[in-house]
Amino acid sequence: MTALIVGKVNIVGGGIAGLLAAVELARGGAQVTVFEAAGGLGGRARTRQADGYSLNQGPHALYLGGAFRRELKRLGIPFSGGRALASSRKAIWKGKLHELPFNSKALLRTGLFGIGDKIRYVALLKTIVKGVTAEGSFAHWLDAQKLSPVMRSSLEALGRLSGYANGPQFMSAQAILDQIRMALGGTLYLDGGWSTLVDGLANAARESGAMLHAGARVEQVIVEGRRSRVMLADGSAHEADATILAMGPNEAAALAPQVASLQVEAREAMPVKANALDLALKRLPDGAQEFALGIDGPFYFSLHSGSAKLAPEGGAVVHVAKYLPTGTGPERNAIEELESVADLVMPGWRALEVKRQELRGMVVSNGLPRWDRARPSVTLADAPGLFIAGDWVGDEGMIADTAAASAMKAAEAVGQWLAIAGVARAA
Ligand SMILES: Cc1cc2nc3c(=O)[nH]c(=O)nc-3n(C[C@H](O)[C@H](O)[C@H](O)COP(=O)(O)OP(=O)(O)OC[C@H]3O[C@@H](n4cnc5c(N)ncnc54)[C@H](O)[C@@H]3O)c2cc1C
């Protein structure tokens, strides 16, 4: 953003979308105020720090080729970490561990596929890496490949791992194949967890003059002519030339019930949910695996402290998760199920547990990229001056990359809106 932005901007929501937009707009010259309902900034990117352990809210990896990393780099936000490169990676199939075919050596060794499937798997991955054009749902694309049951399940698992979503019949084939291609390019686990990104963004926003208020719940947003006003739970009102709602679609729709397009988006958005068991261990038990992916069940297991500084010397941080099928919520035995995955992959862990965090039906993303409907853009035709950002907005990427890309597009749209307002004022 090069031209100077003149005007006041309210941003509701202090997650990474709200913070990225705040940095961009404040650096551009706008007077920015962020209102965050929770006691701290960061939303789902917050990390729980305790006794030298850093526990993200479920497993979090930064995609090397994604929009979030691109924008962090462009804005000069510091972070460090290690590539998610476990030396041993397993597939869970019929209750047993097999080699996960993540490279040619593992593919040769794995008992998961017969020789015909091994050749087909390599060919399919090559096609995906080159870039595929696909229409319809991911399930439809998989049907068309006419795969053996284990190959189909393996590709579904790769889709779940890459896009964090378990809804092949709803998900756009193009979006998930692009996401798999990007994920194969590598991901980073971050030293100190994703809170380091939140802190870096908050510092950058403050240094540029933005006001960041945590514990400030907005109850209503009113758009009047060219101005908008946010009403806080404490009774105060804050007027601005533009407002960005950087939160989920249901929360945004509830704040502005008069905006019909937001009500439609809230109804149509398909949230992606997961259960997670985040474990801080005294040490990794002998014989534990570092990574495992469910092939016939939607499970994930990974030692994050193997690549990033997340635990004190000798300690370990492990994330176990279940990708919930689209449209379903957590089962009664959500945590027991994850514990038994941990029993299979790292027997002996229970005696070494120091701390845990249990997440049931956590929203990973507010908007699955559907094959039959585009996600909304950052501008709302029926509410000029009101903008949206988050992991359900815009056509770029998935999860945090969508949040980051939409935040930047919202900041750009606000800049254009304020430029037009400036011209109108001057005339
Ligand atoms: C288990 C799990 C694993 C994940 N793993 C990954 C991963 O590996 N890679 C990846 O890229 N992404 C991952 N994500 C997704 C990523 O965390 C989110 O996409 C991202 O943090 C969303 O940021 P956001 O700012 O859009 O939304 P949020 O973080 O939800 O922020 C919205 C903020 O708005 C605030 N708010 C809501 N209503 C109000 C109100 N009325 N007034 C004021 N404030 C309000 C909320 O308190 C919240 O802080 C994962 C998410 C989860 C849950």
What ligand 1 atom has the least distance to the C-alpha of 66?
Answer: 11
Mean pLDDT across the chain: 96
Report the distance separating Cα 117 and Cα 420, nearest Å. 58
Reference 275, options 345, 348, 328; nearest CA is 328
Report the distance separating Cα 294 and Cα 80, nearest Å. 29
237 & 379 share domain: yes
CB contact at 8 A, 47 and 192? yes
CB contact at 8 A, 177 and 127? no
16 CA to centre of ligand 1 in angstroms:
7
289 & 329 share domain: yes
44 CA to centre of ligand 1 in angstroms:
4
364 lines ligand 1 (CB under 6 A): yes
246 & 319 share domain: no
What ligand 1 atom has the least distance to the C-alpha of 60?
Answer: 8
251 lines ligand 1 (CB under 6 A): yes
What ligand 1 atom has the least distance to the C-alpha of 38?
Answer: 47
162 & 227 share domain: no
Domain CATH for 212: 3.50.50.60
276 & 308 share domain: yes
Distances (CA, A) of 305 to 63, 232, 318, 340: 17, 40, 7, 21
Rounded mean pLDDT, 20-29: 98
Say if 97 falls within a structural domain: no
pLDDT attached to residue 426? 61
Residue with CA closest to ligand 1 atom 52: 364
Say if 360 falls within a structural domain: yes
For 265, the domain range is 8-46+195-269+369-426
Rounded mean pLDDT, 362-389: 97
pLDDT attached to residue 427? 55
422 pLDDT above the threshold of 90: no
Say if 173 falls within a structural domain: yes
1 pLDDT above the threshold of 70: no
pLDDT attached to residue 246? 98
Element (H, E) at 118: helix 115-130
408 & 263 share domain: yes
Rounded mean pLDDT, 187-201: 98
Say if 3 falls within a structural domain: no
202 CA to centre of ligand 1 in angstroms:
15
pLDDT attached to residue 374? 96
Residue with CA closest to ligand 1 atom 31: 15
Residue with CA closest to ligand 1 atom 48: 43
Residues 239-278 have pLDDT tens digits of 999 999 999 999 999 999 999 999 999 999 999 999 999 9
Q: What is the DSSP letter of 80?
A: -
Rounded mean pLDDT, 148-160: 97
Domain limit, last residue, from 152, 184, 216: 184
pLDDT attached to residue 203? 98
What ligand 1 atom has the least distance to the C-alpha of 398?
Answer: 11
229 & 256 share domain: yes
61 lines ligand 1 (CB under 6 A): yes
Report the distance separating Cα 301 and Cα 89, nearest Å. 10
Rounded mean pLDDT, 157-170: 97
Rounded mean pLDDT, 23-50: 98
pLDDT attached to residue 252? 98
pLDDT attached to residue 381? 95
256 lines ligand 1 (CB under 6 A): no
200 & 349 share domain: no
Say if 90 falls within a structural domain: no
297 & 358 share domain: yes
Say if 234 falls within a structural domain: yes
Residues 48-70 have pLDDT tens digits of 999 999 999 999 999 999 999 99
Residues above pLDDT 90, as percent of the chain: 94
Model confidence at 3, in pLDDT bands (50, 70, 90)? low
The residue ranges of DSSP E strands in 199-286, in sequence order, are: 211-214, 218-224, 227-232, 237-240, 242-246, 272-281
Testing ligand 1's pocket by substitution, the residue of 12, 23, 24, 44 carrying the most ligand atoms inside 8 A of its CB is 44
Rounded mean pLDDT, 162-179: 97
84 lines ligand 1 (CB under 6 A): no
What ligand 1 atom has the least distance to the C-alpha of 13?
Answer: 34
Model confidence at 423, in pLDDT bands (50, 70, 90)? low
104 pLDDT above the threshold of 90: no
Q: Domain total for the chain?
A: 3
2 pLDDT above the threshold of 70: no
pLDDT attached to residue 344? 98
Say if 2 falls within a structural domain: no
Residues 89-98 have pLDDT tens digits of 999 999 999 9
60 lines ligand 1 (CB under 6 A): yes
pLDDT attached to residue 421? 73
88 CA to centre of ligand 1 in angstroms:
31
294 lines ligand 1 (CB under 6 A): no
59 & 115 share domain: no
275 & 342 share domain: yes
Q: How crowded is the C-beta side of 88, counted as CA atoms within 13 Å?
A: 9
388 CA to centre of ligand 1 in angstroms:
14
Q: Residue 299 phi/psi, 5° resolution? A: -115, 155
Say if 89 falls within a structural domain: no
Q: What is the DSSP letter of 44?
A: G
290 & 332 share domain: yes
Model confidence at 425, in pLDDT bands (50, 70, 90)? low
Residue with CA closest to ligand 1 atom 34: 13
Those residues with Cβ within 8 angstroms of residue 2's Cβ, 6 or more apart along the chain or in another chain:
none
Report the distance separating Cα 194 and Cα 191, nearest Å. 8
Domain limit, last residue, from 184, 212, 236: 184
Testing ligand 1's pocket by substitution, the residue of 247, 272, 277 carrying the most ligand atoms inside 8 A of its CB is 247
Domain limit, last residue, from 149, 184, 219: 184
390 CA to centre of ligand 1 in angstroms:
8
